[in-house]
Amino acid sequence: MKIGIAGLGLIGGSLGLDFRSLGHEVLGVSRRPETCEQAIGLGVVDRASTDWSLLATAEVIFLCTPLAAIKPTVLQLLPHLAPETVLTDVGSVKASVVEEIAPLWHNFVGGHPMAGRAESGLEAAQPNLFVGAAYVLTPIADTPAAAVNCVEDLVRPLQTRIYHCQPAAHDRAVAMISHLPVMTSASLIAACMAEPDDAVLKLAQTLASSGFRDTSRVGGGNPELGVMMARYNQQELLRSLQAYRAQLDQFMALIEQADWAALEQRLQQTHAARPEFL
């Protein structure tokens, strides 16, 4: 199949590597000419350009730009598209993207591969990034079934687990398990950095190991992506942050009251619940 990728960064580049290794022809468009040259050099695409007309012959186009650039990208693409071309995006937020893009293009399927890395840009692209990951599709009532099937047939061989849900349900769920962790992890790093004693801060930095690596990973990732999550999923993120603050208050109260039995009970509950998410 001839696949177009708009936005050659971490996600677009990783999709390109996998699609090419599965025998598809991949055409890429990105904003900067040097990214296009690099994409050809890295084997991410067969051909690349900064000119949207390159994607005119693509049968399916994956929109892999930052969230804010998805609608402007579609508006640039529209004059070049054949009526049967399928558009799908990979944005981390779905309700606002689907609301904006579905009225512009009938053959549009909202999508979100639930895989990523702390690094961003084309250099961070890697093969097999999506193996074992959930790939969420958010078709709405009038999304053509053929378009949904077409996207599924392309992403299933990447060894993804495909799920369907409503855009709003997606945004509420990912607020909890993806966007909230970015903010709490960033707050953790900020709280450590606020340590007033320089010697203690240096010691903490020296002693930090696997626990800090795990808990700080998403908060130390791509700042642009974090801002986009907050901007495009503001209400659901605030709701999950309020729930988190309520939990934090309860944990603090137990520690202040030295109620170790109750604290242990809460930690037993979280210990038992974690595998349900992973």
| Residues between 125 and 164 with contacts to ligand NAP, criterion CB under 6 A | none
DSSP state of 124: G
Residue from 3, 55, 77, 90 that binds ligand NAP (CB under 6 A)?
90
The CA–CA distances, whole Å, from 60 to 71, 76, 77, 128, 275 equal 17, 16, 12, 20, 36
Distance, in Å, from the CA atom of 61 to the CA atom of 57, rounded to the nearest integer, reads 10
Distance, in Å, from the CA atom of 10 to the CA atom of 92, rounded to the nearest integer, reads 13
Residue from 35, 85, 233, 240 that binds ligand NAP (CB under 6 A)?
35
In the complex, minimum distance from the CB of residue 128 to ligand NAP, in angstroms, rounded to a whole number = 15
Residue 219 lies near ligand NAP (rule: CB under 6 A): no
Residue from 40, 56, 66, 204 that binds ligand NAP (CB under 6 A)?
66
Which residues, 6 or more positions from 180, have their beta carbon under 8 angstroms from its beta carbon?
237, 240, 241, 244
Tell me how many degrees the CA angle 43-44-47 measures, rounded to the nearest 5. 85
- CB nearer to ligand NAP: pick between 120 and 185: 120
Residue 10 lies near ligand NAP (rule: CB under 6 A): yes
Residue 180 lies near ligand NAP (rule: CB under 6 A): no
- CB nearer to ligand NAP: pick between 224 and 264: 224
**Cα dihedral sign, 127-133-135-136:** negative
Q: Kindly list the residues in this chain that would bind ligand NAP in the complex (CB under 6 A).
A: 6-12, 30-32, 35, 64-67, 69, 73, 90-92, 112-113, 116, 120-122, 222, 225, 228
